[in-house]
Amino acid sequence: MTKLREFLEKINTKACFSGLIRYDEPMALHTTFRVGGTADVWVQPDATVFPDYAAALLRAASDEAIPVFILGHGANLVVSDTGLRGIVLDTGGWTDREKVSGTAPALRIRAGTAVDAAVEAAAQEGAGALAFLAGMPASIGGAVYMNARCYGRSVSDTLIEVEILDEAFQRIIVPFRPEDYGYKKSPFQNRAVLILSATFRREPRPPAEIWLEIEAHRQDRERKGHYRFPSAGSVFKNNRAFGKPTGQIIDELGLRGLNSGGAKVAPWHGNIIVNTGTATAADIRALVDQLISRVHAALGITLEPEILFVPPHHP
């Protein structure tokens, strides 16, 4: 830990760090599931320094073989009970809109911006492109990384380009290419890059119509119990080959309400696992494994988790 402290003090002085930094930070505070042990260091740079600081930090950490985990709003994560070694780089201070050069009307939004804030800012100027995401807990960077999908649309349906810090720690623009994206898939999932901002089409519509759509999605999520308990939304991906939504498959096998410690399949939705208050990451993993094996035993199909276990192979 001393080595890590020295490393950070050195880099923070050199790169003029401004923001928040905490040692032994419980990751349960930074995930919507409210589980996860401590990160050695959690760093949230301010917007004033974010891209340059992130580049300096990632470069120096790579030189020293110190792992860095990039955190959005923690809405799709199950962080191990033993926590994360190395550095968690939280994008939550890198918020707001960016100016878009050129004449094409577009919305460029920084990666740490809450999706709901981006949805509202877009609606205020009559841009309807992001309304389908209303009520989804996420950062813009996390939504692009996951190619989040709801109400029949994916983030990739409205994307123009993404600005990243690439593997050589250079800021580059990655233009949207449909072949790079798929159901809950983005090209960034196979790369060690930091998404800095995303540019979306505006899709102008009358503001009243956009606000109606936003309200409808928020109410629908409320009704579906999305916010009743800590969770990470849908646990498993849907798969056309299964012939029906994964939630329905789990429901029909009578597995709603199944539990492992404090983790429970939501009694009202087969594809949501909730933390009833005492869940650990190990409870969630055990319940996910149990659902996979019970569904496989009954129907011969293999469910694929959508939630991410961090580190990937923790028990």
Nearer to ligand FAD, 70 or 284 (CB): 70
Candidates 51, 83, 187, 233: give the one binding ligand FAD (CB under 6 A). 233
Tokens 């999605």 correspond to what residue?
217
Residue 103 CB, nearest approach to ligand FAD (Å): 27
Q: Around 40, how many Cα atoms within 13 Å sit in the side-chain half-sphere?
A: 16
The mark string for 187-226 relative to ligand FAD (x by CB under 6 A, - otherwise) is -x-----xx------------------------------x
If 0-12 CB within 10 Å is exposed, 13-18 middle and 19+ buried, where does residue 128 land?
buried
Give dist(CA 20, CA 98) in Å, integer: 23
Residue 142 touching ligand FAD (CB under 6 A): yes
Residue 146 touching ligand FAD (CB under 6 A): yes
- Specify whether 306 is catalytic: yes
Nearer to ligand FAD, 139 or 260 (CB): 139
Residue 277 CB, nearest approach to ligand FAD (Å): 16
Give dist(CA 5, CA 11) in Å, integer: 10
Residues in the interface with ligand FAD (CB under 6 A) total 31
For residues 16-45, which are near ligand FAD according to CB under 6 A?
32
Stretch of 58-66, 119-127, 132-140, 235-243 contacting ligand FAD, by CB under 6 A? 132-140
Residue 15 CB, nearest approach to ligand FAD (Å): 18
* Number of neighbouring beta carbons within 10 Å of residue 56: 18
Candidates 137, 187, 247, 270: give the one binding ligand FAD (CB under 6 A). 137
Report the amino acid identity of residue 250: I
Give dist(CA 271, CA 235) in Å, integer: 6
Residue 91 touching ligand FAD (CB under 6 A): yes
* Beta sheet of 171-175, edge-to-edge order: 97-98, 106-110, 194-201, 159-165, 171-175
Nearer to ligand FAD, 126 or 262 (CB): 262
Which pairing describes strands 308-310 and 77-79: parallel, antiparallel, or unpaired?
Answer: parallel
Active-site residue (options: 156, 231, 234, 260) = 234
Listed in sequence order, the residues at least 6 apart from 156 whose beta carbon sits closer than 8 Å to its beta carbon are 147, 176, 178, 181, 186
Residues lying near ligand FAD in the complex (CB under 6 A) are found at 32, 70-77, 91, 111, 136-139, 141-143, 145-146, 148-150, 188, 194-195, 226, 231-233, 308
